[in-house]
Chain A
C-alpha cells in the first residue's frame, strides 16, 4: 500500500489530467477550426456551389464547339418581402464568352432595406468554372423604400469545364441584411 502513497502516481494522475484537459481544449478549438477548414475545402474542390470567383478581364479563347445552358434562379428568404427575379430565365453561352444578364429586385416595403444575395451553383462541380466579372452579390444592396432596379451579373465560363456538364444553374437567394433586423430565429416559436 505504501507504493500507492509515494508521489509517483500522484504526479502521474496530475499529468494525465493535464494532458487530457489539453486534448479537450484542442478539440474544442478544432470544432471552431472546422469552419475555415470547411470553407477552404469547399473552395479547393469547388463543391457546395457557393464560391464567388472574382475574375479579371483577361480571358482565354472562346470554345465555339460547345454550348452550355446557364439557368438563372432567384429566391428570397422568408424575412425579405421583396420581388426578385431574373430578367431571362436562361441563356446559351460558349465557354469563354462574356455575357451580361440582369436580375430585377423591388423592395415592397415602405422602409429602406438592405439585402444580401447569396450565390449557389448547381451542379456543385461546375462552381469553380463560373467566373464572375461583376455581380450584385459582391456587395450588400441598399434599396430605398419602394425602390426597384435591375442589377447586372457579368460572367463567363471557364473553357476547362468538364465535358459532362451541359447545364449550369446560377441561383441567388436574397437575405435581409438590414442592420436593425435579426436575420434568423426570433420569428415565432415555429420550431416548438
Chain B
C-alpha cells in the first residue's frame, strides 16, 4: 500500500522530529519509534493499513494546518489586515463534509477486508491454549500433552524490585524475558485459545499483530502464521493488578524440524519426570 520510497522518507522525518524535538543525541542507534512490520502476512497488512492512515492524516493535516498558519501569518491585525464579513457558504460546507466522508469510506474497505481475514481461524494446523494468571501465563499445547507456566525471568525479577542495586543493562532483555518461552513452528497456522484464571489479561505480541483479552469463564480465539524464525517479545496489555507490568510474553518461532525436536525433548523430559515420580513412589511404598 505504501511504497518503499515513502516509507524511507517517513522514517527519516520521524527520527529527525524525535531527535531534534528531544534535543537528545544519536546515542540510541536502534531507537524504535514506529509499529514493527512484524513477521506474518497479517502483521504486514496491519502495518500497511497503519501507515496508509498515517499518511491520510498527514495530508489532511498539511491542508488544515497550512490554511491556519497561512491565516495567522497573512491576516494579522498588526500587518494591517481588514476583516471580511462572510460567515457561511453552503457549497463549501457541503464539500468539506462530503470529501472526508468519501475518504473514510475508502479507508474502511481495506480495513474491513483485513478484519475478516484476521477473524478466520479455520484450517489451523495446531492449537495452543493460553491461560492468564496473576501474574504469569500458562501455555497448553492441545493434542501434544505439553503444558507449562511462563513467568518473568528470574534476573529481571530481581532487578525490578524497589531499590535493587542491579545494573539493568546487565540483565538479559530486562522485563521482556521469561523462564519458559512458548515455542511454535514457522509456516504453520497456529490457532490460539485464550482464557483467564482470575482477572482480565491481554496477550499481545506486536511482531505478530495479535492482541486478545483473556477473560475468566470465557474463551477467545485468534491465529497467526509466522514466516521468520526468531524470538518475538510482548507484554500483558490489560491492567491486571500489582504486577501487570511484569508478565511478559516470549514467542520462540522455530523451523518445523527444530520445533519437532523441541517437542520430543519436552515429551522425553516429561516421561523422565513421570518415571522419577513413580520410582520415588515405588521406593516410598517399599
Interface residues of A (CB under 8 A from B): 48-50, 71, 73, 75-78, 89-90, 118, 120-123, 164-167, 169, 171, 173, 175, 190-192
Main secondary structure of the interface of B (DSSP, over half): loop
B121 and A167 contacting across the interface, CB-CB below 8 Å: yes
Which residues from chain A contact B121 at a C-beta distance below 8 Å? 122-123, 167
4 extra interface residue pairs, beta carbon distance < 8 Å, beyond A78-B133, A164-B122: A77-B197, A89-B143, A167-B191, A190-B134
Which residues from chain B contact A191 at a C-beta distance below 8 Å? 199, 241-242
CB distance from B74 to the nearest CB of A (A): 47
A50 and B221 contacting across the interface, CB-CB below 8 Å: no
Q: What string of 1s and 0s marks CB contacts (under 8 Å) between B194-220 and chain A?
A: 010111000000000000000011111
B216 and A171 contacting across the interface, CB-CB below 8 Å: no
The answer to whether B152 has its CB under 8 Å from any CB of chain A is no
Which residues from chain A contact B180 at a C-beta distance below 8 Å? none
CB distance from B200 to the nearest CB of A (A): 11
Which residues from chain B contact A121 at a C-beta distance below 8 Å? 219
The answer for the CA separation of A121 and B193 in the assembled complex, in Å, is 10
The answer for the CA separation of A144 and B218 in the assembled complex, in Å, is 27
Q: Which residue on chain B has the smallest CB distance to residue A75?
A: B195
B193 and A173 contacting across the interface, CB-CB below 8 Å: no
Q: What string of 1s and 0s marks CB contacts (under 8 Å) between B98-128 and chain A?
A: 0000000000000000000000111110010
The answer to whether B277 has its CB under 8 Å from any CB of chain A is no
The answer for the CA separation of A171 and B127 in the assembled complex, in Å, is 13
Q: Which residue on chain A has the smallest CB distance to residue B119?
A: A123
CB distance from A109 to the nearest CB of B (A): 17
The answer for the CA separation of A15 and B123 in the assembled complex, in Å, is 62
B219 and A171 contacting across the interface, CB-CB below 8 Å: yes
B218 and A49 contacting across the interface, CB-CB below 8 Å: yes
